[in-house]
């Protein structure tokens, strides 16, 4: 149904590549008020900084000049691809003000590479991931002084790519916009929203048999909008039942995949050897997101805890967990992700039973909090590490 088959697609004109060196800058004349640390506003997750970065792409010309400009609404056609056909993908990352007063990103190369991959999955244009990293740094530099002033604080950074072509046909978008915004974000790993009784535990509800987040051959591995909206109903159902997140199971055997929009880890004592194993779902069947925090957890465990904890990226089922719990071998569980960071799991609801982890483990979150501490040290510059990239 495409009007321009690829072979006629203006292959003779060279297309502009995404080029951070061409960045234009338009200073905002309006400076928005910055919320106080820990203020209730943070929980709205929509207080943005003064500027945003945008870059337009067209099938004819490629990437336009990127611009940092005052934060403003988009003008989007009612016929735009992104609001009908979910031609959209995004990244979630944070910018950290270190205790040494330097501003850092955490492994931004990983996020940039993943956005290229996600874009491809929903037929959005390709770009050089290293250029995106430069653009992210440029936006963070622009607004860090006012918006990220406090050592030990962070903001959330959201790069996204949307198909803006005006075309109701079922076809690849011929126009797109890459944009980056920075917003205030609460600390989910240690705080609770205003009006909610403070508690530090995380309760997971296993998904129902009739609701599946992702499937082999689908797009569960990509950070595309299509994975999110359809999962909100389950997420809400969990909260209405007094749980925080869904633990997504897959298949007849109930393979454990992800928790909410985070990766899931369980620490289990091996039945025969009694050695501790860190279990997490594998990437090879493309069901789960290749989380940057997930990958970092695994790498830290391999480099710093190899004697205590064996990494097992492997299929495991909710029955495996239940059995380990019954035997007293499920010693710890936690989730990881940029939005949530790392948070210990206190309970997993399976059918009509709670697998309560506080009562079963020896010591409270022996490994999760340690790994979290290491990551924090890297993010806030306490430990100089190649993962902490100064902007």
Which residues from 171-200 bind a second copy, rule CB under 8 A? 171-172, 179, 181, 183, 188, 193-196
Smallest distance, a second copy to C-beta of residue 122, A = 4
How far is it, in rounded angstroms, from Cα 101 to Cα 97?
6
Does residue 336 touch a second copy according to CB under 8 A?
A: no
Structure tokens of 336? 């990881």
Does residue 328 touch a second copy according to CB under 8 A?
A: no
Count CB-CB contacts under 10 A for residue 319: 12
How many residues does this entry show for the chain? 391
Identity of the residue, 81 or 153, whose beta carbon is nearer to a second copy in the bound complex? 81
Residues 38-57 that bind a second copy (CB under 8 A): 43-46, 48, 52
List phi, psi (to 5°) of 326. -60, -40
Identity of the residue, 37 or 193, whose beta carbon is nearer to a second copy in the bound complex? 193
Identity of the residue, 76 or 390, whose beta carbon is nearer to a second copy in the bound complex? 76
Member of 28, 211, 317, 354 binding a second copy (CB under 8 A): 211
Identity of the residue, 188 or 376, whose beta carbon is nearer to a second copy in the bound complex? 188
Piece of 118-126, 133-141, 305-313, 367-375 that binds a second copy (CB under 8 A): 118-126
**Using the 8-state DSSP alphabet, how is residue 166 labeled?**
B
Piece of 20-28, 73-81, 127-135, 348-356 that binds a second copy (CB under 8 A): 73-81
CA dist 208 → 191, 200, 248, 351 (Å) = 28, 25, 8, 9
How far is it, in rounded angstroms, from Cα 337 to Cα 265?
11
Smallest distance, a second copy to C-beta of residue 112, A = 18
Does residue 33 touch a second copy according to CB under 8 A?
A: no
Whether the CB-CB separation of 375 and 364 falls below 8 Å is answered with no
Which DSSP string do the residues of 36-57 spell out, in sequence order?
A: PTT-GGGGGS--B-SEEEEEEE
Does residue 166 touch a second copy according to CB under 8 A?
A: yes
Residue given tokens 């106080």 in the structure block: 36
Whether the CB-CB separation of 377 and 368 falls below 8 Å is answered with no
Does residue 367 touch a second copy according to CB under 8 A?
A: no
How far is it, in rounded angstroms, from Cα 258 to Cα 243?
15
Identity of the residue, 98 or 163, whose beta carbon is nearer to a second copy in the bound complex? 163
Residues 255-284 that bind a second copy (CB under 8 A): 260-261
Residues 215-234 that bind a second copy (CB under 8 A): 215-219, 224-233
How far is it, in rounded angstroms, from Cα 109 to Cα 106?
9
Member of 13, 77, 200, 359 binding a second copy (CB under 8 A): 77
């Amino acid at each position: 149904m495409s009007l321009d088959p690829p072979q006629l697609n203006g292959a003779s004109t060279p297309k502009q590549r995404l080029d951070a060196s061409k960045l234009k800058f338009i200073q905002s004349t309006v400076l928005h008020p910055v919320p106080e640390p820990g203020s209730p506003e943070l929980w709205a997750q929509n207080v943005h900084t003064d500027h945003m970065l945008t870059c337009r792409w067209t099938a004819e010309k490629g990437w336009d000049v990127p611009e940092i400009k005052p934060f403003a609404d988009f003008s989007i056609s009612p016929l735009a691809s992104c609001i009908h056909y979910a031609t959209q993908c995004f990244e979630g990352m944070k910018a950290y003000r270190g205790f040494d007063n330097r501003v850092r990103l955490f492994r931004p190369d990983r996020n940039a590479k993943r956005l290229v991959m996600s874009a491809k999955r929903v037929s959005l244009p390709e770009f050089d991931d290293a250029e995106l990293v430069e653009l992210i740094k440029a936006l963070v530099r622009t607004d860090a002084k006012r918006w990220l002033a406090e050592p030990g604080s962070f903001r959330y950074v959201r790069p996204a790519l949307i198909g803006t072509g005006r075309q109701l046909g079922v076809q690849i978008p011929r126009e797109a916009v890459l944009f980056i915004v920075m917003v205030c974000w609460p600390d989910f790993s240690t705080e609770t929203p205003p009006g909610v009784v403070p508690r530090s535990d995380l309760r997971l509800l296993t998904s129902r048999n009739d609701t599946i987040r992702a499937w082999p051959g689908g797009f569960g591995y990509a950070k595309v909008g299509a994975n999110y909206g359809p999962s909100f109903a389950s997420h809400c159902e969990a909260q209405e039942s007094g749980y925080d997140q869904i633990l997504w199971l897959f298949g007849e055997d109930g393979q454990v995949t992800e928790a909410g929009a985070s990766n899931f880890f369980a620490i289990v004592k091996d039945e025969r050897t009694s050695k501790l194993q860190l279990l997490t779902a594998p990437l090879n069947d493309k069901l789960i997101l290749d989380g940057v925090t997930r990958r970092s957890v695994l790498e830290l465990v391999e480099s710093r805890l190899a004697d205590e904890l064996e990494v097992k990226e492997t299929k495991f089922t909710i029955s495996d967990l239940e059995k380990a719990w019954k035997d007293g071998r499920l010693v710890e569980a936690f989730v990881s992700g940029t939005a949530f960071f790392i948070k210990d799991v206190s309970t997993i609801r399976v059918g009509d039973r709670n697998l309560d982890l506080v009562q079963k483990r020896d010591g409270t979150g022996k490994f999760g909090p340690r790994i979290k501490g290491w990551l924090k040290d890297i993010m806030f510059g306490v430990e100089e590490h190649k993962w902490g990239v100064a902007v």
